[in-house]
Amino acid sequence: MNEDIKRLKEIIDESNNIVFFGGAGVSTESGIPDFRSANGLYNQDLGRTVSPEEMISHTFYVNHPEQFFEFYRDKLIYEDAEPNACHKALAELERQGKVKAIVTQNIDGLHQKAGSKVVWELHGSTLRNYCEDCGAYYDLSKVTGTDGVPTCDKCGGRVKPDVVLYEEGLDSDVIDGAVRAISEADTLIVGGTTLIVYPAAGLIHYFKGKHIVLINMSATSADSSADLVIREPIGEVFAELMK
């Protein structure tokens, strides 16, 4: 165990209210690409005339629903993905009473699949879908089991994934829960995120506790205020930590 991970273990051992704030880098070791790295979604040649960012915007969803769902099914849904060592470690630390909440920018549901109970999903989840007209709820199969634009079995309305698209606001209840969790934490572990996407990234400023730990492969805007910065794959860090 290297010195950084030893220090992380010491911080966790002395903490009683840890909140984990995570981004796309948490799930890359589960085979889900991130957005902004060299191999990320935004840097892929998709053979299209619009960017991935445009294709997951509210405007594109409304104006080009067929193309939106084609892209969405192809690039944002990973049914076979499994939790990695980071997801599993956080779930175990929750069971031990150390981790009190997870605040995630991811939409893959892997924290819950690993067993975590208190998860604030800032950008929603691909696992939930709803009819825009009558509000009927549908699971992932409503999107993956159909072609084209999915429609409601009850009223025929368009079924929308419960994810926050570009140009859409975050859910106020989720924001309130995340802010409360972060503001009450004694340790904040930030992992797998560049802290570029706002307003989500701004939530870490509500932290008033003792320790901030940054685990990310590249530099972030919060590095200078962190007690510990680890530049290693986050799954490997937590796998070593939990040995």
Backbone dihedral angles phi then psi of residue 211, each to the nearest 5 degrees? -125, 135
Q: Which is nearest to 74 in space by CA: 118, 44, 30, 49?
A: 44
Is 211 labeled as catalytic in the residue annotation?
A: no
For the record, the structure tokens of 201 come out as 């990234």
- What are the residues whose beta carbons fall under 8 Å from the beta carbon of 188, sequence distance 6 or more? 18, 19, 20, 21, 182, 204, 207, 209, 211, 212, 213
Q: Which is nearest to 126 in space by CA: 69, 179, 182?
A: 69
The Cα–Cα gap between 210 and 170 comes to 28
- The DSSP annotation for 94-129 comes to HHTT-EEEEEE---S-HHHHHT---EEETTEEEEEE
Q: Which is nearest to 28 in space by CA: 217, 222, 200, 225?
A: 217
Active-site pick, 64, 87, 111, 123? 123
The Cα–Cα gap between 58 and 132 comes to 13
Query: Which are the catalytic amino acids?
Result: 123
